[in-house]
């Protein structure tokens, strides 16, 4: 997927400014500057995809399925939320948590009753909401907020972590309500 996005961006650039684009493709300084600026994003997305694949290959999806399959609350929309929340809490990155949790939750959608279009949309929202929950010391967002607001680490845990946890719980409640509403239509 990252390679496809890179190639699409390259095509858009060439179509937008054909004369400059072709000459820049041969410029080693320009290529080095571009690759340097996108390398961290590409590495993060590739690492997230690798973690997601590792979780699938090692049976993590089935393990979560066995643990949460009895949770048919509102069609099981909370299962993808809790998978993403667990991934985010354990490793810190929202992007990695969202990609890995989506790959882990996808095989469970049929058994959770989320295999229709509305169910898949709810599952995607649940993964996104879970991936933004519980920001703490292993998350770069936590340190960015703590630094910019001048909070000590202890104060940041009390405010930022509690705030993102509350935000996630409110999102989970909203998803529950939304899933009850969408189930009737």
- Got the DSSP string for 26-52? T-HHHHHHHHHHHHHHHHHHHHHHHHH
Residues 6 and 84 in one domain: no
The residue with greater pLDDT, 70 or 50, is 50
Domain that holds residue 39: 1-50
Residues 14 and 93 in one domain: no
Cα–Cα distance between 63 and 83 in angstroms, integer?
Answer: 11
Residues 90 and 138 in one domain: yes
Residues 75 and 130 in one domain: yes
Inter-residue contact 156 to 145 (CB < 8 Å): yes
Residues 24 and 81 in one domain: no
Which of 9, 24, 50 corresponds to the end of one domain? 50
Residues 143 and 83 in one domain: yes
Cα–Cα distance between 40 and 140 in angstroms, integer?
Answer: 14
pLDDT of residue 4: 72
Cα–Cα distance between 101 and 109 in angstroms, integer?
Answer: 12
Which of 50, 74, 89 corresponds to the end of one domain? 50
Residues 114 and 143 in one domain: yes
Inter-residue contact 78 to 71 (CB < 8 Å): yes
pLDDT of residue 50: 75
| Confidence check: pLDDT of 14 > 70 | no
Percent of the chain whose pLDDT exceeds 90? 22
Residues 70 and 22 in one domain: no
Band (pLDDT 50/70/90 cuts) for residue 20 is low
Residues 87 and 31 in one domain: no
pLDDT of residue 127: 94
Residues 95 and 38 in one domain: no
> Into how many domains does the chain fold?
2
Residues 30 and 94 in one domain: no
- Mean pLDDT in residue range 6-13: 70
The backbone region for 115, taken as left when phi is positive above 0, alpha when psi lies in -120 to 50, beta otherwise, is: alpha
Band (pLDDT 50/70/90 cuts) for residue 53 is confident
Residues 68 and 123 in one domain: yes
Nearest to 73 by CA among 185, 173, 184, 169: 173
Inter-residue contact 76 to 114 (CB < 8 Å): yes
Which tens digit of pLDDT belongs to each residue from 106-155?
A: 888 888 888 888 889 999 999 999 999 988 888 888 888 888 899 998 99
The residue with greater pLDDT, 24 or 178, is 178
């Amino acid at each position: 997927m990252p390679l496809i996005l890179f190639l699409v961006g390259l095509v858009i650039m060439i179509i937008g400014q054909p004369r400059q684009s072709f000459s820049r493709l041969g410029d080693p300084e320009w290529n080095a500057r571009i690759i340097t600026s996108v390398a961290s994003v590409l590495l993060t997305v590739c690492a997230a995809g690798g973690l997601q694949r590792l979780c699938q290959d090692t049976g993590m999806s089935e393990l979560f399925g066995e643990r949460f399959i009895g949770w048919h609350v509102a069609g099981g929309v909370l299962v993808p939320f809790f998978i993403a929340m667990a991934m985010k809490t354990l490793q810190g990155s929202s992007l990695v948590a969202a990609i890995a949790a989506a790959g882990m939750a996808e095989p469970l959608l049929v058994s959770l009753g989320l295999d229709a279009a509305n169910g898949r949309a709810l599952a995607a929202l649940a993964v996104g909401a879970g991936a933004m929950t519980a920001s703490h010391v292993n998350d770069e967002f936590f340190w960015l907020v703590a630094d910019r607001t001048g909070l000590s680490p202890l104060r940041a845990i009390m405010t930022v972590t509690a705030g993102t946890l509350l935000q996630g719980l409110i999102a989970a409640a909203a998803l529950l309500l939304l899933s009850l509403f969408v189930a009737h239509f």
